[in-house]
């Protein structure tokens, strides 16, 4: 008998840039012995670096390929970390209504050091003010799809993983 916690799959992480979706998703999947999919990473594998896609083809095109990758990922029995803007797509929000979704939140103060050095095209100009404006525009979308909300600002990755396994444990 494995003593790995069992969680219902797919288990989906949403939230703004820098909230910890990739880091928490990876750790959660490893802890639960589940596959991990990061849709940003899958897009980059197939189509090239995300900042280059934005620069070359624009955001609208990015959202089309993002939707394809997200739709495929949500059909897999995996921990799935979505890109920050994936919830903008109506079909993705419809899919998420039927799945276990965790909204990782983070304060403006806590996210500042986490964003340092990243390659995030939407906040390349505008920095933290732009990050806050994007979050406010999307807040109702995250709220609409979330089954569990966790403020990660002052919480370790390990504690966040425990919070999630506590809420969604024993469903596999
Ligand atoms: N709970 C936490 N406490 C402190 N630092 C964290 C926490 N979670 C993540 N980080 C750090 O914050 C940074 C951003 O995390 P991560 O890349 O997982 O965010 P993300 O939500 O996937 O962002 P993006 O939407 O840009 O992909 C990383 O350096 C990560 O190590
Ligand atoms: O918040 C967003 O719209 C984005 C977040 C990242 O995860 C990437 O998906 C991309 O940089 C766009
Ligand atoms: Mg990420």
ipTM score assigned to the predicted complex: 0.98
Q: Is the CB of 169 under 6 A from ligand 2?
A: no
Q: Is the CB of 21 under 6 A from ligand 1?
A: yes
Topology (CATH level 3) of domain 11-161: Rossmann fold (3.40.50)
**Structure tokens that stand for 145 in this block:** 């799809």
Do residues 122 and 134 make contact, with C-beta atoms less than 8 angstroms apart? yes
How far, in Å, from the CA of 157 to the mean position of ligand 1?
9
Give pLDDT tens digits for 11-44.
999 999 999 999 999 999 999 999 999 999 999 9
The count of C-alpha atoms lying within 13 angstroms of the C-alpha of 96, restricted to the half-sphere facing its C-beta, is 27
Residue 63 annotated as binding site: yes
Residue 172 annotated as binding site: no
Q: How far apart are CA 121 and CA 55, in angstroms?
A: 8
Q: Is the CB of 83 under 6 A from ligand 2?
A: yes
> CB within 8 A of 71, min separation 6: which ones?
91, 92, 95
pTM of this prediction exceeds 0.90: yes
Residue 154 annotated as binding site: no
């Amino acid at each position: 008998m494995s003593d790995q916690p069992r969680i219902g799959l797919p288990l989906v992480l949403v939230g703004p840039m820098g909230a910890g979706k990739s880091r928490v998703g990876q750790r959660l999947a490893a802890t639960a012995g589940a596959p991990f999919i990061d849709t940003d990473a899958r897009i980059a594998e197939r189509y090239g670096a995300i900042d280059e896609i934005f620069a070359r083809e624009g955001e609208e095109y990015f959202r089309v390929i993002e939707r394809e990758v997200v739709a495929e990922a949500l059909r897999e029995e995996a921990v799935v970390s979505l890109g920050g803007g994936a919830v903008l797509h109506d079909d993705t929000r419809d899919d998420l209504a039927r799945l276990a979704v965790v909204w990782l939140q983070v304060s403006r103060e806590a996210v500042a050091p986490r964003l340092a050095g990243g390659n995030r095209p939407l906040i390349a100009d505008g920095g933290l003010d732009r990050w806050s404006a994007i979050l406010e525009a999307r807040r109702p979308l995250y709220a609409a799809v979330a089954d569990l909300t966790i403020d990660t600002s002052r919480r370790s990755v390990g504690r966040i993983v425990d919070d999630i396994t506590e809420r969604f444990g024993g469903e596999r």
